[in-house]
Amino acid sequence: MSMLSFFIGLAAGLFGGLLGLGGGAIMIPLMVGVMKMPQHKAHGTSLVALVFTGAAGVATYGWHGSVDITASVLLASTAIITAGIGANFSNTLPEWKLKRAFGWFLVVISSLLILKPSLPHEHAAIGGWPEIIILLLTGTFTGFLSGMMGIGGGGIMVVSMVLILGFTQYTAQGCSLLAMIPIGAVGALTYWRSRNVAVNILPGLIPGIVLGSFLGGSFAHLLPEVALRVVFSAALIFTGRKFLNASRPKAEEI
């Protein structure tokens, strides 16, 4: 079990460190499909892991000067409020509907990110109050979905910072990883209280995540920004398709 959880953490860390994501899109399917873990427990365990993905990944991005601490704090300030709400809400709404909606959202924004060079938007940072408001709103939306789905929300944060605010792909990913630390902690605490965290796999999962995040973050800075953006977008499309395939419970089909 410990070796399996280590390799799951390693895969998630590589994915998260490379693309500025939490790795939940890797961890959750593997924990549910391979380890046969209940869906809600997989979400809670993923959120615990996000804290370590963010910490290990941001150390690498920070070393390369690719972290805007002010932007990260603004994102996290509203996200930590809505992360708990999203986690509590996970048992009260039809999960399949939210998954499909989120899947479409990921597909659309990833397509926009690929088309970024031909889109009419500002390439320089907006700055001032408009930037602050956009970051706060992005954090609000990200926190809720992070708590609800057990993901880091990097797909939302990075796209918002790159397309709307004119951040570079590197800086946006670094900010996303830093913001994930408090977001993941708040969401994980909510799941922990409801006993939806698989504590027994954490000793294997966490070392794998730390190592993978460091390697992924280091490799990210070796890629050209355009290539990194394409890889990031492809990962979002793949994740979005997984959410779009969420099945409707038979009880609701009647």
pLDDT at 78 (0 to 100): 95
User: Does 20 map to a domain?
Assistant: yes
Question: If DSSP codes are grouped into helix, strand and coil, which group holds residue 137?
Answer: helix
Rounded Cα distance, 26 and 145, in Å: 16
220-249 pLDDT, tens per residue? 888 887 777 777 777 778 777 777 777 776
User: Does 55 map to a domain?
Assistant: yes
- Mean confidence (pLDDT) of the chain: 81
Question: At residue 139, does pLDDT exceed 80?
Answer: yes
Task: For the chain, state the CA radius of gyration.
Answer: 17
Domain range spanning residue 22? Answer: 2-248
User: Does 254 map to a domain?
Assistant: no
Rounded Cα distance, 186 and 200, in Å: 20
Q: Average pLDDT, stretch 53-73? A: 90
User: Does 253 map to a domain?
Assistant: no
On whether the CB atoms of residues 190 and 198 are closer than 8 A, the answer is no
What is the CA angle 140-121-117, rounded to 5? 110
CA distances from 143 to 78, 132, 186 (A): 7, 16, 9
pLDDT at 41 (0 to 100): 87
Rounded Cα distance, 229 and 223, in Å: 10
pLDDT tier, 254 (very low <50, low <70, confident <90, very high otherwise): very low
User: Does 229 map to a domain?
Assistant: yes
154-189 pLDDT, tens per residue? 778 988 898 888 888 889 989 999 998 998 888 888
Question: At residue 63, does pLDDT exceed 80?
Answer: yes
- Strand blocks (E) in the chain: none
Question: If DSSP codes are grouped into helix, strand and coil, which group holds residue 121?
Answer: coil
Q: Average pLDDT, stretch 13-17? A: 82
pLDDT tier, 148 (very low <50, low <70, confident <90, very high otherwise): confident
Q: What is the pTM of this model?
A: 0.76
Least confident of 19-23, 66-70, 195-199, 200-204: 19-23
pLDDT tier, 87 (very low <50, low <70, confident <90, very high otherwise): confident
pLDDT at 72 (0 to 100): 95
Q: Average pLDDT, stretch 133-142? A: 94
Q: Which residue has the tokens 């419970």?
A: 249
pLDDT tier, 81 (very low <50, low <70, confident <90, very high otherwise): very high
User: Does 23 map to a domain?
Assistant: yes
Return the higher-pLDDT residue of 153 and 140.
140
* Residue type for position 178: L
Return the higher-pLDDT residue of 130 and 105.
130
Helical (H) or strand (E) element with 214: helix 202-220
Rounded Cα distance, 142 and 146, in Å: 6
The number of folded domains in the chain is: 1
pLDDT at 74 (0 to 100): 96
| Residue 14, φ and ψ in degrees, nearest 5 | -60, -45
CA 215 vs. chain centroid, Å, equals 18
Q: Which residue has the tokens 């992005």?
A: 138
